[in-house]
Amino acid sequence: MSVLVVVEMFSAMTAISERQSILVMPPWKNPWLMAAVFGSFLVHIACIELPFMQKIFSVVSLDTLHWIVVICLGFPTVIIEEIFKSYSRHHVKHHEEK
C-alpha cells in the first residue's frame, strides 16, 4: 500500500507539466499541488502509525529500511514519466518540422 501511495505522489509531482521536465517545471511551482501531496502523505502516515488506524486498516508501522525500499520502488515513476515527456517533446518537435 505504501509503495502505491508513494508512486501516486511522485506521479502527481511529475504531472505539473505534460511535456516539461520536472527539472524545468518543479512541483513547488504549484503550492496547491504540494499541499495536496503533503496532506495525502500525512493521512497515509497516520494510517500506518496510529494504533487505532492500524487496526482499522490491518497495517503495521514501517521501519527506516522499509521506507527506503518504498521510496526506491516508487522513484522509478519519476524516471518513467520523464522518459515519456522527453519522447513527447522530441516527437512533437520532429512532427512540427515536417
For residues 96 and 68, the model is more confident at 68
pLDDT confidence tier of residue 98, bands split at 50, 70 and 90:
low
Q: What is the pLDDT of residues 25-53, one digit of tens each?
A: 888 889 999 999 999 999 999 999 999 99
Look up residue 61 and give its DSSP letter: -
Q: Which pTM does this prediction carry?
A: 0.79
In the chain, how many domains are there? Answer: 1
Domain that holds residue 20: 2-97
Share of the chain above pLDDT 90, in %: 65
Query: Quick one: which of 66, 85, 71, 75 has its CA closest to 25?
Result: 85
> Residue 54 and residue 39: Cα distance in Å, rounded?
18
Percent helix, strand, coil in the chain, to 5, is 75, 0, 25
